[in-house]
Amino acid sequence: KPFKRLLLTGAAGGLGKILRDRIKPWADVVVLSDIADMGEAREGEEIVQCDLADKAAVMKLMEGVEAVLHFGGISTENTFENIMQANILGTANIYEAAHKLGVKRIVFASSNHTVGFYRNTDYIDAGAVTRPDSFYGVSKCFGEQLASYYWDRTGLETVALRIGSSFPEPNDRRMMVTWLSYDDLEEALRRSLFATRVGFTILFGMSNNDVAWWDNSKAAHLGYKPKDSSSQFDAKFPDSGDYPAPNASVTYHGGAFALAEVRYKA
Ligand code: NAI
Ligand code: 15L
């Protein structure tokens, strides 16, 4: 197998549960980590329950690991204090440990919420300036910048996968654009881990949907070619004949995250 030890953080989460079996062919031992319970270790797995904000625990977690799929953290909007611990400090701990221990490559689960305030009439690529729509989105921008810094400073490589909406099916009209099937997620990770050279690359995580807001041409060296399309779910969202109201969540790439009523109230 390509890796001796491959680490997945966020293993108890929605995507972590999906990836747990899918990444097994890539490593002799898959190290699964989360702050939450992950059940029993199965064959070829090791389970380490810890808080990413705990620097010493993260250093121990990463011993002997060759590559990391960093999916752990808070995955929607929250207080800045909570986001700061899990996503900002947590990601900083992962990168510093990776550098110290000689980890070669990290795939960072970034998000479309780094660019959530672009509008549905904007078609952007990885060169577009970020426009985060939440503290959550800001924390993902931080993770990307940190990854860029470690690449330039130390040669630690990252693919920042700006995931759109990775769920079994699109749940609303916006997700017809942002949907990333689980098979295409797996393919994006495979390409990100095994491309010869990635440096610091931003890849938008979307399937081959009919409508797109994001252009992946700056990540062409990864060779990611999504196979699924949200068009198979067209019947779920029939045209009503009405234009959506200007404030509808389809207005922004980040959907409801960009709407005032979703803004976190302390
Ligand atoms: P999730 O919320 O189901 O999973 C995240 C996991 O991280 C949880 O199991 C949680 O216990 C763990 N976690 C939170 N704080 C932690 C801490 N301090 N230390 C250790 N573990 C901690 O989210 P999901 O949907 O599985 O997403 C996984 C990753 O992908 C997240 O980083 C999320 O931001 C990102 N992402 C997901 C998208 C999607 O469509 N599902 C879209 C864009 C990004
Ligand atoms: C994300 O970043 C979230 O983690 C996920 O729960 C969804 O809200 C997704 O983006 C989305 O924008 O659909």
From the CA of 160, how far away is ligand 2's center (Å)? Answer: 15
Q: How confident is the model at residue 196 (pLDDT cuts 50, 70, 90)?
A: very high
Q: Count the alpha carbons within 13 Å of 69 in the hemisphere toward its beta carbon.
A: 31
Q: Indicate whether residue 166 lines ligand 1 (CB < 6 A).
A: yes
Mean pLDDT for the stretch of residues 168-196: 97
Question: pLDDT tens digits for 62-96?
Answer: 999 999 999 999 999 999 999 999 999 999 999 99
Q: Which CATH number fits domain 3-262: 3.50.50.60, 3.40.30.10, 3.40.50.720, 3.20.20.70?
A: 3.40.50.720
Report d(CA 141, CA 237) in Å as an integer: 32
Average pLDDT of every residue of the chain: 96
Total Cβ atoms within 10 A of residue 247: 12
Q: If you take atom 18 of ligand 1, which residue's CA is the nearest one?
A: 86
Q: Is 50 exposed, middle or buried (0-12, 13-18, 19+ CB in 10 A)?
A: middle
Mean pLDDT for the stretch of residues 180-193: 99
Judge whether residue 265 has pLDDT over 90: no
3: which DSSP letter? E
Helices 135-154, 90-101: crossing angle, 10 deg rounding: 10
Q: Indicate whether residue 228 lines ligand 1 (CB < 6 A).
A: no
The ipTM assigned to this model is 0.99
Residue spans of the domains in the chain: they are 3-262
Residue 237 or 197, more confident: 197
Single pTM value for the model? 0.98
Write down the number of H helices and E strands in the chain: 7, 9
Question: pLDDT tens digits for 203-227?
Answer: 999 999 999 999 999 999 999 999 9
Q: How confident is the model at residue 128 (pLDDT cuts 50, 70, 90)?
A: very high
**Which residue is it, tokens 């009919």?**
210
Mean pLDDT for the stretch of residues 15-26: 98
Mean pLDDT for the stretch of residues 7-32: 98
Q: If you take atom 2 of ligand 1, which residue's CA is the nearest one?
A: 75
What pLDDT shows up at residue 262?
A: 66
Judge whether residue 266 has pLDDT over 70: no
Judge whether residue 239 has pLDDT over 90: no
Residues contacting ligand 2 via CB (< 6 Å):
75-76, 111-113, 165, 178, 255
Structure-token pair, residue 210: 């009919």
The full DSSP string for 7-51 is EEESTTSHHHHHHHHHTGGGEEEEEEEESS------TTEEEEE--
What pLDDT shows up at residue 264?
A: 65
Q: How confident is the model at residue 241 (pLDDT cuts 50, 70, 90)?
A: confident
From the CA of 37, how far away is ligand 2's center (Å)? Answer: 22
Mean pLDDT for the stretch of residues 51-58: 98
85: which DSSP letter? I
From the CA of 110, how far away is ligand 2's center (Å)? Answer: 10
Q: Indicate whether residue 226 lines ligand 1 (CB < 6 A).
A: no
The three-class DSSP label of residue 4 is strand
The three-class DSSP label of residue 183 is helix
The closest ligand to the CA of 8 turns out to be 1
Task: Cite the active site residues.
Answer: 136
Question: pLDDT tens digits for 144-165?
Answer: 999 999 999 999 999 999 999 9
Total Cβ atoms within 10 A of residue 113: 30
